[in-house]
Amino acid sequence: MAPRLDFSGWWAKDKRKGTPVVVTMENPNYSVLEIDGPDAEAFPSMDKGRGKNAKQFTWVLLLKAHYAVGCIASVAAVLWALPRVVKRRLVFRRAAATQSDEPDKGRLMLRFIRGFLLFSLVALAFELVAYLNGWHFQKPDLRLPESLHIPEATEIHGWMHSAYLSWLSFRADYIAYPIQLLSYMCIILFVIQSADRLILCLGCFWIKFKKIKPRVESDPFNSDDGSEYVYPMVLVQIPMCNEREVYEQSISAACQIDWPKDRLLIQVLDDSDDEAIQLLISTEVSKWSQRGVNIVYRHRLVRTGYKAGNLKSAMSCEYVRDYEFVAIFDADFQPNPDFLKLTIPHFKGNPELGLVQARWSFVNKNENLLTRLQNINLCFHFEVEQQVNGVFWNFFGFNGTAGVWRIKALEDSGGWLERTTVEDMDIAVRAHLHGWKFIFLNDVKVLCEVPESYEAYRKQQHRWHSGPMHLFRLCLPAIITSKISIWKKANLILLFFLLRKLILPFYSFTLFCVILPLTMFVPEAELPVWVICYVPVIMSFLNILPALRSFPFVVPYLLFENTMSVTKFNAMVSGLFKLGSSYEWVVTKKAGRSSESDLLTAAEREAKIVSLPLFHKGASESELSELNRLKEQHEKAPSPARKANKIYKKELALSLLLLTAAARSLLSAQGIHFYFLLFQGMSFLLVGLDLIGEQMS
């Protein structure tokens, strides 16, 4: 009899095994079917038998060993390539001048950082020996140094043990207290500056909430009574110096400004010392002049006073007396055609108004990490600082470009002076002392560029932070003796100069680059966690509010600002004490981008050869012969230098110092201190090796 196959017990089981699959069909002719996956008992796994096969087991081991060897090889390749990268940076340094190679520049600060680094390395070695030998004692109390537990003579093992105990006692008695006092002073300054930043943000929120902004009462160009608007005479000045990349687009934008041609004059103020660039600019001016634009080209043979001397020389022309207003644009600025129609009407009916400042907008803000971080800073500067000061104080620092001055205000304030490298701030302070008012237009934007290389940005920041301190020395007596109110004097001295130009770089460098790593080796003077973490993060969030799209970069922004404190502190000291680099002007290198999508323009212009078809129209025979000569020189000229990274010794030394302090913080199990020092040290390392931003030729 055949065996009976009874599956009733198997079907009667409530326990389901396998993975249910549900198939849903929209067609009404089909129904929903639920299928249970195959049971493990019905189809036994074949893997159990495979595990017993010795040959397959050997192959599995070989595959895993191959994978492990590949991982080890990848890590080894990275570690092997790292010294080569550093070596390449050091080799390229011979071809590219470093900041420290320049005579008598930053030598004192570099020596201080090197001495500090040497001390930290010795202290770290000492602490490691003590840690490995188990010499752990009660943490000394700053207020009660006698609470330090000093072992008995029987507990001391060797001269090194005795020396370590002497070091503990010495740092508790003589080192910790001065460091703690300095840290308290920096913390107070830090809190004051943070409060000022918070008040500015609250003022900006109030302006947004109340919708406060300068307005023109009526449209002057479309009056109801039928009278025509009398266009005032406006002078447009474009100062430039060796601006090969941007001269064409800036002149083109200025020549397309919507204003009657007989009421507008454009001055191209060229301080270039390169004959080829001079000829290019003059040819561009001739081209627009032949199109009917009222434009003139001026070139100074002697470049004295930098930009201030250039503007002063242009204002001395006799025909300037016929003009009422002057608009100033740097060489990389591209104003919209309606710029004058949005700014000039604010002067009508407001005889005390001396300056109308527009906002900057950046065509290359998303080019690299450096430009993104600059965009955060400058957006806060315009959206918060300039706007709040303009609304509540009627005063702010002139940005040097994208602004319209009443010529009478310039003459009443003494005109352009060549005494500092911040001629824009100089004329703004003197005009404010003479009672002139300023207006900032946040909704009028002018396209420009931010530096794409760290070298250019570093030099720009040095000038922007040394110049104000130099100016403060010169204009302090005039501020004190001026006839403005005591509140405006206090705003100028305490807030505008001391707090935002002097205190900010001082405490940033001292607190985070000196005191914080020092407290790792002198733990009796430990900084509170809220100073290191909470308050800086909150301030970074406030700074990034005007540029919310840059929110993912808040951590790099915080680290980079602390990294730049070295340059800003050095510049502030040189300007305050009138050192050699306080009166240094280096033209900021531009890429020549005319729009955000114009990513190939810079590369094309580097390889661009001066050709006659581009310039021969309207050129004289002498100009054509000069162009032929320049073209021959260009063809014989060697290929452009290879772009190379530079080495910044102060940043590299500080990176080693902070990484050493981070290693010391591990012995004390200080989590937040360790991570802050680690990431800050890596930030200094990247900047020191010039691995941020584009490279310069």
Which residues have a catalytic role annotated? 271, 424
91 Cα distance to chain centroid: 27
Residues 6+ apart with CB under 8 A from 544: 376, 380, 550, 551, 553, 554, 557
Query: What is the 3-class SS of 327-390, one letter each residue?
Result: EECCCCCECCCCHHHHHHHHHCCCCCEEEEEEEEEECCCCCCHHHHHHHHHHHHHHHHHHHHHH
Question: Which residue type is seen at 677?
Answer: L
Question: What does the alpha-carbon distance between residue 286 and residue 237 come to, in Å, rounded to a whole number?
Answer: 16
Question: What does the alpha-carbon distance between residue 347 and residue 518 come to, in Å, rounded to a whole number?
Answer: 55
Strand 353-362: give its sheet, edge to edge. Answer: 295-299, 264-270, 234-240, 325-328, 403-406, 353-362, 437-448
195 Cα distance to chain centroid: 22
CA-based nearest residue to 96, from 607, 454, 593, 629: 454
With 0-12 / 13-18 / 19 or more C-beta atoms within 10 angstroms meaning exposed / middle / buried, residue 662 is buried
Token duo for residue 399: 């940005």
Q: Which single residue is written with the structure tokens 């004329």? A: 427
Q: CB of 259 within 8 A of CB of 234?
A: yes
Query: Which DSSP category does 391 fall into?
Result: H
Phi, psi of 101, deg, nearest 5: -75, -20
Instruction: Quickly list DSSP for 630-668.
Output: HHHHHHHSPPPPPP-----HHHHHHHHHHHHHHHHHHHT
Q: Which single residue is written with the structure tokens 């550093």? A: 86
515 Cα distance to chain centroid: 24
Question: What does the alpha-carbon distance between residue 539 and residue 525 come to, in Å, rounded to a whole number?
Answer: 24
Q: CB of 412 within 8 A of CB of 488?
A: no
Residues 6+ apart with CB under 8 A from 403: 327, 328, 355, 356, 357, 358
CA-based nearest residue to 648, from 100, 92, 111: 100
Question: What does the alpha-carbon distance between residue 107 and residue 203 come to, in Å, rounded to a whole number?
Answer: 42
Q: Which single residue is written with the structure tokens 């016929």? A: 322
Q: CB of 420 within 8 A of CB of 426?
A: yes
Centre a 10 Å sphere on the Cβ of residue 377 and count the other Cβ atoms it contains. 18
Give the CA dihedral 373, 374, 380, 381, nearest 10 degrees: 160
Question: What does the alpha-carbon distance between residue 625 and residue 154 come to, in Å, rounded to a whole number?
Answer: 95
Question: What does the alpha-carbon distance between residue 61 and residue 625 come to, in Å, rounded to a whole number?
Answer: 78
Query: Which DSSP category does 607 fall into?
Result: S
Token duo for residue 588: 């900021």
Query: Which DSSP category does 293 fall into?
Result: -
Helix (H, G, I), strand (E, B), or coil: what is residue 259?
A: coil
Token duo for residue 566: 């070295």
Q: Is the Cα dihedral 528, 532, 533, 536 positive or negative?
A: positive
